[in-house]
Amino acid sequence: MTELARLTADDESARERLYAAAPEMLSRTRSWSAHNTGSLNTEGLRRFAPKLADAFSALEADIQLVQGPGFEAVGADGKTTETHSGPIVEISSRPDAPIQVVMSGHYDTVFSPGVFETVTDLPDGRVNGPGMADMKGGICVMLEALKAFEAGKLKDRLGYRIVLTPDEEIGNFSSAESLRRAASAGALIGMTYEPAMETGAMAGGRKGSAVFDIVLHGRAAHAGRAKEEGRSAIEAAAELVVGLEGLNNKFGGVTFNVGSIEGGAPVNIVPDLAIVRFGARAPDHQSAEWASQQVRQLFERAVARDGIHGHLHGGFYRPPKPRNTAQQALFDAVHATGRAIGLDIEFVDTGGVCEGNNIFAAGVPNVDTLGVRGGRIHSSEEFVITESFPERALLSALILNRLADGRIDGRRIKELMGR
């Protein structure tokens, strides 16, 4: 048995505490799920953030609600406006401790008010509800793991900074700087609480993600009397979309997806506005650069058409998070820790992105699916597996114990980032 797979007295105490707290974890998450916190439901986010601050007040930590900066959004009229999200919950404890960790989670969901707002018990120990897995359940796991850690003898060895964001599902445009700042304040590793897969597998390497909006303007004209005087923005957009989708399978691992085309006019008017909204995923820096270059070239071709002009917004807001030596060393440590409680954790590379990408970009290796086990996220069939609450909280508590007592050498893992 390795040292990481050995349970100490502190580990055993954490196990007893967390399994006793399992009903409370589920009850709290159900209560949180009942509050709509869609990413653009600013009022709902503002009402919910104080509930998080109140729950985390059980820790020996300083808690602040911080309003992040506004960010640019392209409206249906093609004009850019400044959009705001809810408060960022920033929590810090023991900043002078020798071991520092950055932890993150998001309290927004993809569900707008009125879309999916019920919590329902399912067979086989599952509960269906918005955010039960992604990721109010994960935030609850984070909180209980920290409470268990602080009840032990090692707490003075480890400090942490937590960022709970209101805008992860739309890109962390308001909270990205808070994440970067927390990660850059001496953190050796990062811990993020996206849901694990239903099987218990966790995310390994992650692609980078981009969001683009291209606005194209043409010239309106009567489609019957003066069709030749018009310049169709829709036609230019159609050519652009075909070009974008044609980039798939052209560079290893890069994908493009056009989500919508907006604009147009009645059929007797040549349309003078079109907005193309699309995303891209890329596995590494080189492929992200290639993807961005291809987008610029297609945009330049579109606005080179007679009578067409426009503007390009967006880019790779989350850089790729590939497996490197540091990431693999951390995954190995988490795997060995899981063995202590009977978990054989597999790390699976994924095209999905999360705040772990932001933390990696700040130079901090991190594991980003420490939350509950669940499935069907981003749909009205989202569910959490209830037995995973104490299981995953205990995994985190054990990771914290091992960082604090040195069995996981966070400093060595971070030093591997440059290799």
CATH no. for residue 350?
A: 3.40.630.10
The bridge status of strand 374-375 relative to strand 383-385 is antiparallel
The verdict on 149 and 215 lying in the same domain is no
What is the β-pairing status of strands 347-350 and 366-367?
A: unpaired
Q: pLDDT tens digit string along 316-327?
A: 999 999 999 999
pLDDT, tens digit (0-9, with 9 covering 90-100), for 12-60: 999 999 999 999 999 999 999 999 999 999 999 999 999 999 999 999 9
Confidence of residue 419 (pLDDT cuts 50, 70, 90): low
Q: Which two tokens stand for residue 60?
A: 């020996």
Task: Give the residue from 295, 318, 341 where a domain finishes.
Answer: 318
Looking up tokens 């093609």 gives: 78
State how many domains the chain has: 2
Same domain assignment for residues 360 and 413:
yes
3-class secondary structure per residue, 214-243: EEEECECCECCCCHHHCECHHHHHHHHHHH
Instruction: Tell me the one-letter amino acid at 232.
Output: S
Distance from C-alpha of 284 to C-alpha of 320, rounded to nearest angstrom? 5
**Predicted local confidence at residue 3, as pLDDT:** 87
Please give the share of the chain, as a percent, with pLDDT higher than 90.
95
pTM over 0.85: yes
Please check whether residues 109 and 144 belong to one and the same domain: yes
pLDDT at residue 176, rounded to an integer: 96
Residue after which a domain boundary falls, among 292, 318, 344: 318
Whether residue 1 has pLDDT greater than 70: no
Rounded average pLDDT over 120-127: 97
Confidence of residue 386 (pLDDT cuts 50, 70, 90): very high
- Contact between 348 and 203 under an 8 Å Cβ cutoff? The reply is yes
Query: Cα(226)–Cα(269) distance, rounded to whole angstroms?
Result: 9
Residues 161-204 have pLDDT tens digits of 999 999 999 999 999 999 999 999 999 999 999 999 999 999 99
From the list 254, 292, 285, the residue with the least C-alpha distance to 360 is: 285
HEC profile of the chain? CCHHHCCCHHHHHHHHHHHHCHHHHHHHHHHHHCCCCECCCHHHHHHHHHHHHHHHCCCCCEEEEEECCCEEEECCCCCEEEECCCEEEEEEECCCCCEEEEEEEECCECCCCCCCCCCEEECCCEEECCCCCCCHHHHHHHHHHHHHHHCCCCHHHEEEEEEEECCHHHCCCCCHHHHHHHHCCCCCEEEEECCECCCCCEEEEECEEEEEEEEEECECCECCCCHHHCECHHHHHHHHHHHHHCCCCCCCCCEEEEEEEEECCCCCECCCEEEEEEEEEECCHHHHHHHHHHHHHHHHHHHCCCCCEEEEEEEEEECCECCCHHHHHHHHHHHHHHHCCCCCCCEEEECCCCHHHHHHHCCCCEECECCCEEECCCCCCCEEECCHHHHHHHHHHHHHHHHHHCCCCHHHHHHHHHC
Beta pairing partners, 196: 373
Q: Does pLDDT of 381 surpass 90?
A: yes
d(CA 229, CA 301) in angstroms, rounded, equals 21
Instruction: Name the token pair of 330.
Output: 């951390």
Give CA 411 to chain center in angstroms. 25
Rounded to an integer, the average pLDDT of 118-129 is 97
Q: What is the mean pLDDT of residues 328-348?
A: 97
Residues 345-363 have pLDDT tens digits of 999 999 889 999 999 999 9
Residues 310 and 325 in one domain: no
Q: Which of 160, 128, 126, 130 is nearest to 143 (CA)?
A: 160
| Domain of residue 189, residue span | 3-76+83-205+321-418
Mean pLDDT across 123-151: 98
Looking at the structure, tell me whether residues 7 and 134 fall in a common domain.
Answer: yes
Beta bridge partners of 373: 196
Same domain, 124 and 87: yes
The amino acid that residue 16 corresponds to is E
Q: Please tell me the predicted confidence (pLDDT) of residue 264.
A: 87
Please enumerate, as own/partner, the contacts of 223-228 that have beta carbons within 8 Å and a separation of 24 or more: 223/267, 223/268, 223/269, 223/270, 224/268, 227/270
In a shared domain, residues 260 and 165: no
Task: Among 74-78, 135-139, 256-260, name the one with the lowest average pLDDT.
Answer: 74-78
Give the pLDDT score at 297: 98
Distance CA 36, CA 169 (A): 14
The predicted model gives 205-232 an average pLDDT of 96
CATH value at residue 269: 3.30.70.360
Task: Give residue 265's pLDDT.
Answer: 84
Q: 149 and 29, same structural domain? A: yes
Both 55 and 186 in one domain: the answer is yes
Instruction: Clarify whether residues 220 and 300 are in a common domain.
Output: yes
Quote the pLDDT of residue 53. Answer: 98
Backbone angles phi, psi at 80, to 5 degrees: -95, 140
- 225 shares a domain with 335: no
Q: Of the candidates 302, 318, 334, which is a domain's last residue?
A: 318
| For range 103-109, the mean pLDDT | 98
> Do residues 187 and 300 make contact, with C-beta atoms less than 8 angstroms apart?
no
Is residue 418 over pLDDT 80? no
Lookup result for tokens 């935030």: 139
Q: Tell me what pLDDT residue 259 has.
A: 95
Same domain, 269 and 200: no
